[in-house]
Amino acid sequence: MLKRKIDAPLRIPVFLVAAADAVFWVTVLTIAVFARHAFVWDRVNIASLLVLGLVAAVTHLSVGYASGMYLGRFRFASFEETGAFVGVVAVTTGVLVVVNLAAAQPNLVPSSAVFAAAAYQVVLGLGLRYTLRLLRQVRRLSHHPREHRGLIFGAGDAGSQVARVLMEAPGSDVQPVAVLDDDITKDRLEVQGLRVVGTRASIAEAARRFRADMLIVAIPSASPSDVNEVAEIAQKAGLLVRILPPVADVLTEGNVRVGDIRDFALADFLGRPEVETDVESIAGYLKGKRVLVTGAGGSIGSVLTRMIAKYEPSELMMLDRDETALHSLQLELEGRALLDSPNLVLADIRDLDALRRVFSERRPDVVFHAAALKHLTMLERFPVEAVKTNVFGTRNVLQAALEAGVDRVVNVSTDKAADPTSMLGASKRLAEMVTASYAARNAKVFMSVRFGNVLGSRGSVIPTLRKQIEEGGPLTITHPEVTRYFMTIEEAAQLVIQAGSIGRDGEVLVLDMGTPVRIVDLARQLALEMRPGVEIPMEFTGLRPGEKLHEVLSAPAEEPLRRPHPLITSYPVEPMGSDEIAVLSGISDPDLMRELTWKLVTGAAFEAPVPATVEI
């Protein structure tokens, strides 16, 4: 109980401040009048002074409440309250002048005393407020030892608000010690009592000078590349880095909270703003519908499932061949994992009969096909498995959907299907072509959506690099210049849902993912974020068979059809029917499967392409 009282923030009742303001008026008028009469008591009309003091107190309190100054409208001792207080004093002074002049001659008090009293009132009132604010900050700082000493990068409104909330919030674990900003005109400026001590070039020096162990980037309007550059400088100096999210409305309302200041997230490595595809406005096609997701237990499938659940489908069927993945998914969605829900479907997309049974019994309206094999190196070694799952598995889903009268099927593809050089890309390209073929066979919407590498998905580069960094390296990277397009899992799921609304028969939709990211830069940033100041060695292993140095989102021969969204482009896909892919059925020889797959993808007989050897 005692600790709770000590830790409690200093409370300042508004009525006490209002009472102090009223007492101040009587006090300052008395001082001003006596000073005007050279402190000769006999020359002062005490009754007139008390009358004017009462008028001042009543007027000030009335105007103060009317303006909201005593109703909590302004943050205590803020610039806004300062302006309001001065305005109330000015109005009160005007009333006092009128009352004083309207009184019988001589005036109640000398007119000069009224103006002097107003000046004293401003000094006393603001002095009280800033003293109480300082006491409150000192009390919080003294009874809330902070774990970190932080530099704030950004001396604007955001930086000011961050400094204030870090100083005042009981939940803050950071003591701000100084501010930096690239605007040299702000040098030596004070922000919430903290000096601006330099630009980004001064981060390391400021960290040593102020014994800081953290940098908070408080410029929400900064470009991702700028944020990454500042973060990299700070991390090289051994500082932890936190940032404000790039959300302007958080700041314009003046409501920055400690919770808004966060660690670097995966999305910060994109080098571009995270894409918002306005799913809320177009996901109405899911409400009240029966929705089925294949591969629901996978990285994308599980996020997609959680997102779909928000749009109130009448039934959400989660199909996967991995019972453990379904167990985890049910636990996350329902808080239990008894695996007894009819919404959980254990089935393999390679099994057409099983899919037919599920589709005919459950009659889904919308199907999102996310089940696939996706590891490039593994599929190069086992091309037969790639075709069985990614080609024939997709054909089975489409066939079952066609027979069950499904309204919409969205096939989840990959950027590796664009101008493919691997079995992963080739098999997913065939899946797009088969989807286009089924689209031509019925009046429903069967289409594909294509995107790049998904940050944080199982088996992707980020978890691999994290593990290697935790173990001290080396970081294994195929080539110093290799680049990839990246998107977050949330972006991928949003795109898939939006595609179901705006996509047309047989086409493939591609998200504009900005500039490709060098894996070396990604690894370096991640290492700096996880272990600032520690040099993690890198090892270049060479491009693997089937791997590209640079990915593309569309093939040179693909001409865009339309842009149904500012960040989404539609491309046509050449259909390929089931009779054409039948040539791959029953093949068990990996080399023959690889050869025939490439013949189907390219329409020509040649060996599977292998990237040229690149010297490292």
Catalytic residues: 416
**Cβ distance 161 to 80 under 8 Å?**
no
Instruction: Please count the CA atoms within 13 angstroms of the CA of 3 that sit on its side-chain side.
Output: 1
CA–CA separation, 219 and 452 (whole Å):
29
CA–CA separation, 35 and 47 (whole Å):
17
CA–CA separation, 593 and 585 (whole Å):
9
CA–CA separation, 466 and 448 (whole Å):
32
**Cβ distance 28 to 121 under 8 Å?**
yes
CA–CA separation, 542 and 556 (whole Å):
26
CA–CA separation, 211 and 330 (whole Å):
47
Positive or negative CA dihedral for 249, 251, 252, 257? positive
CA–CA separation, 255 and 115 (whole Å):
38
Q: Which residues of 314-324 are buried (b: 16+ CB within 10 A; e: fewer)?
A: eebbbbbbbee
**Taking the mean position of all CA atoms in its chain, how far away is CA 44?**
67
Provide the H-helix boundaries in 441-571. Answer: 461-470, 489-502, 519-530
CA–CA separation, 307 and 316 (whole Å):
11
